[in-house]
Structure 1
Amino acid sequence: MTHFLLTHASAIRLGAFAGIFAVMAIWEVLAPRRPQRIGRLRRWPGNLGIVVLDSVLVRLIFPTAAVGVALFAETHGWGLFHALQAPAWLALVVSLLLLDLAIYLQHVLFHAVPGLWRLHRMHHTDLEFDVTTGARFHPLEILLSLVIKLGVIVALGAPALAVLIFEVVLNATSMFNHGNVRMPLWLDGLLRWLVVTPDMHRVHHSWYPHETNSNFGFNLPWWDRLFGTYRAHPQDGQTGMTIGINQFRDPRELRLARMLWQPFRGPVNSYPINARPEHTNGADMP
């Protein structure tokens, strides 16, 4: 069974992506959390174009991707778990936790370093928040993120099965927690102890810097609570909050070509975590 999963890793990832995307898109139509001022016909071509471009680049530059690197490391006995001769079940569980922690720390890093924020802010310049926002990442950020992830996989000696599970779960939760979907408040309150919910992550896409720099988790909500970056609710409420940042607010910026050029245009502004106080005076307002 494990051999079958690893052999068909790409097909499994693609199938999971397509299935979960379809479920979330239908859910958004049937039970939207917020009305959208800018419709899908204006936003989705650029967002989905980014998905296609990212996928092609990753396949061209890293054809074996994360699972292949995990198998290579396993063959050569590289990594912490191989050195410790950890039981397979323990290596799998701990790998899933540590890979998620690495994604959380990477996300914080991309907000903290101005040069990295230039790449990451394209994810935040979407003027609405829905399932396609969860896959809207600049190709240069995707490639850099993959290099970091591969380094963590090799350092840990993470089992290939753990890497495959993590990849599928990461894609699934990214689409889920970016969904413009409504659920009962009691259910959201319960789920956000186990997984990052849309209402929790939507705060991260607020145009107020103190909210943009919170709720960094993608899969597990525990890291935000542990490291003090958790914020329960946006100050303007879920339906009243403004999505995006105070740059690139012209709807023309939703076009694919302009999205790709955003990292090289305009100032870094006040959003990186380590911005100096004199640069953030009044920056909470657009």
Structure 2
Amino acid sequence: MRPSTHAFLHDNLWHLMRRLAVPGILGMLIVSINSFVDAVFVGRWVGTDALAGLALVFPLTIIVSSLVGLLSAGLASIASRSLGAGDPARQRDLLNLLLTLSLLLATVVSATGYGFARDWVTLLGATGTVLDYGAAYYEILVLGSFFTLFGLSSSMLIRATGQIRQAMTYSAVAVVANMVLAAALVKGLHLGVRGAAAGTGLAMLLYCGLNLQHLLRGRTALALAPLRLYFDWALTREIVAIGSSAFVMQATNFVRQVLIFKSVAHYGSAAELA
């Protein structure tokens, strides 16, 4: 057994909380910087209307965040409990089930998001050039839904084994990559809001790769099978049962944000939205 795994399973609870909480919090903060990075570059190099368009799209990103909460909470719980119980058979296809569920959910989100991007942004109160910028950004961003779903959820599998520092490191690499890519695409190639969205998608692709190589090379205590598509109704129901509370919490946040942004768009200006 790895020393880190032994410590995760047998150390004093309060000691573990102190040791794991800080990198865990930092990891979540690092990931949340992605939207801020896009906003900074778009606001500086594209303009106020473009930044207002990105601001209006923010509530729509909560849809994917809700699904991440659903998958990651359920999977992390199953992974941690199976690790504590010494049940490698239960761990074997967790990553493969995540791959399948991420593909299914991302297909629905991408299809509805890309096909109805203007309708979604209009629902939030956007008009004119703000609508054009918001729809253009969301069309590209939503095509990368799979990488966001799979990347963030697979990171939770790493965290579930107590390897918080490694998960934080991969998150930091992805954020730095997003900064570089967004600057290159928005400023260097003059792709505007589409470039910012593409930079985020490519950074999340890198994030998926980093998490996958960590999980599949046996660097965690989980006994994972080779990557393939896999589905299990019983495990899926358990994931949904555990993760539904996280999903509902995020979903209510989505409704609240929609109402707030719609009100600001109706009564305010593009500058106030930005």
Which category of TM-score, normalised to the shorter sequence, fits these structures? 0.3 to 0.5
- For normalisation by structure 2, the TM-score amounts to 0.36
RCO higher in 1 or 2 (8 Å CA, sep ≥ 6)?
2
Q: Pick the structure with more helix per residue.
A: 2
Q: TM-score, normalised by structure 1?
A: 0.35
